[in-house]
């Protein structure tokens, strides 16, 4: 069962292993999750399989270039599968693989946290931007 302590322990282990980017799951996997679009696409596909243009409409401000690239990355990592139908204008459907579905639970818990904490984060940002220099000068 993961908790803060085991996280810290694992951090030490990763560090001991020289923090090789190839070997470190955090760097490998979280870099992809945080890829600005990929998590959004995963959530979009969690609802149901969708086609390319459908995804493009669902996530309005992604460019085709980035959509293509993000889908390729997701496919490469085995989180989604790509199905080509040789229809008159070709249609391509993307759907979550079992591996991708297994990611939804932890991803949902993160999103859940994000929604719960969003007000507090926004408040903190506002305070920070207002010049709130609440830095403790311990033992002046």
Contacts with DNA, residue ranges (CB under 7 A): 35-37, 51-54, 61-66, 68-69, 71, 82, 88-93
d(CA 64, CA 46): 20
Q: Measured from the CB atom, is 36 or 116 closer to DNA?
A: 36
**Cβ neighbours, 10 Å, residue 68:** 13
Rg of the chain on CA atoms, in Å:
20
Q: Which does 90 bind (CB under 5 to 8 A by kind): DNA, a second copy, none?
A: DNA
77 counts as binding a second copy under rule CB under 8 A: yes
Q: In terms of Cα–Cα distance, which of 105, 35, 27, 102 is closest to 74?
A: 35
Q: In terms of Cα–Cα distance, which of 36, 40, 9, 10 is closest to 23?
A: 10
CB-facing half-sphere around the CA of 45: CA atoms within 13 A: 32
136 counts as binding a second copy under rule CB under 8 A: yes
Q: Which does 62 bind (CB under 5 to 8 A by kind): DNA, a second copy, none?
A: DNA
59 counts as binding a second copy under rule CB under 8 A: yes
Q: Which does 13 bind (CB under 5 to 8 A by kind): DNA, a second copy, none?
A: none
Minimum distance of a second copy from residue 124's CB (angstroms): 3
């Amino acid at each position: 069962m993961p908790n803060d302590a085991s996280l810290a322990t694992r951090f030490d282990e990763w560090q001991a292993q020289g923090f090789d980017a190839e070997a470190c799951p955090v760097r490998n996997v979280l870099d992809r999750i945080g890829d600005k679009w990929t998590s959004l696409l995963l959530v979009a596909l969690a609802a149901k399989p969708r086609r390319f243009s459908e995804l493009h409409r669902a996530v309005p401000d992604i460019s085709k270039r980035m959509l293509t690239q993000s889908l390729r990355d997701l496919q490469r990592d085995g989180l989604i599968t790509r199905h080509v139908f040789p229809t008159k204008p070709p249609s391509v459907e993307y759907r979550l693989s079992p591996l991708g579905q297994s990611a939804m639970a932890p991803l949902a818990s993160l999103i859940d946290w994000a929604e719960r904490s969003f007000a507090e984060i926004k408040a903190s940002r506002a305070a920070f931007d207002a010049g709130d220099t609440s830095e403790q000068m311990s033992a002046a």
